[in-house]
Amino acid sequence: MFDIDPREGPTKGGTVVIVYGNKFKNTKNTTCKFGDKFVRGFYLDQNRIKCISPPYEKPGYVPLTISYEGERYSSETVKYLYYETPEIHNITPTCGPVTGYTQITVFGKNFIDMGFGKVKCIFNGTIYMNATIMEEDIIKCDSPPLPPNFGFSDEGAPFYYIGLTLNGKEI
């Protein structure tokens, strides 16, 4: 193993992790081991294996290793970081012009910086906008512009649902 992407994910698990290496074997019994948790691995090609991170009880680094057909686990390990799932409690302002780029302050908890360009506000699960962690409970990001024919609420005003990612991938 040479590397993994992403190198981190929430303790709730479910993160798609791509393991990079060389000469991976195409077997039906590839296993990924996150710390003391075992999950099935999926062969993609001789240089990549896909693993889905299992839930983990507490945040922190765990070693990630690979095994084929019940063989010993690889001696090569890569550290994978589990973090507490971020929560959104409130945002302000709650509205802005349809042209977008209104700076939004997101209040919540478990906001930690995973590195340059990874923290993003996610609008309707598909539009990723850069974000900045101000404190462990405050993030700032800009709203995207509304496309034509966008969805409307019961009151008739267009709206977005907002989520966060700390690793650039998870919502």
Query: Average pLDDT for residues 59-75, to the nearest whole number?
Result: 82
pLDDT tens-digit map of 107-153: 999 999 988 889 999 999 999 999 999 999 999 999 999 877 666 55
Query: Average pLDDT for residues 94-115, to the nearest whole number?
Result: 93
- Tell me the torsion sign for CA atoms 57, 61, 16, 134: positive
- Name the pTM for this structure: 0.81
Burial 49-70 (b: 16+ CB within 10 A, else e): bebbbbebeeeeebebbbbbee
Domains of the chain: 3-83 (2.60.40.10), 87-165 (2.60.40.10)
Residue 76: pLDDT over 90: no
